[in-house]
Amino acid sequence: MSVFLTTLIGSITVFVLAIFLGFELISKVPPTLHTPLMSGANAISGITIVGALFLSNVQFNNGNPGVAAWLAFVALIMATINVVGGFMVTNRMLEMIAGKKRK
């Protein structure tokens, strides 16, 4: 029980520190770098999609899908929505920049 509690406290600490670090990093990014930053986030979500596909394939092939298979399926759906939405936002931002250059 104490190992579980120690691991849980460590995981929560890393999660909270990642939130603060992410907020500080994103707030310091100038507007001209938002499009490349969005592209990087899309690449990370693409890696999540590949991992979720791999995990769901391994879990569902056994015939009895477990909790990990369903979590992989949910991760696959959410990462796909994130990638598609990210590309739509990136495309819109690039169109706005291209529109300014034409004028």
Highest mean pLDDT among 27-36, 77-86, 94-103 belongs to 77-86
- Lowest average pLDDT, out of 16-20, 28-32, 35-39, 42-46, goes to 35-39
Task: Tell me the torsion sign for CA atoms 72, 74, 48, 4.
Answer: negative
pLDDT at res. 51: 83
Q: Which residue from 85, 77, 2 is spatially nearest to 42, judged by alpha carbons? A: 85
Helix (H) / strand (E) element for 99: namely: helix 67-102
Domain residue spans in the chain? 31-102
In this predicted structure, the answer to whether residue 100 has a pLDDT above a threshold of 80 is no
Amino acid 44: pLDDT: 82
Buried/exposed 30-61: b ≥16 CB within 10 Å, e otherwise? eeeeebeebeeebeebeebbeebeebbeebee
Under a CB-based contact definition with an 8 Å cutoff, are residues 42 and 86 in contact?
yes
pLDDT of residue 63: 67
End-to-end alpha carbon distance in the chain: 65
Alpha-carbon span 27 to 33, nearest angstrom:
12
Digit-coded pLDDT (tens) for 38-96 = 777 778 888 888 888 887 776 565 567 777 778 888 888 998 998 888 888 878 877 87
**Mean pLDDT value across residues 11-17:** 94
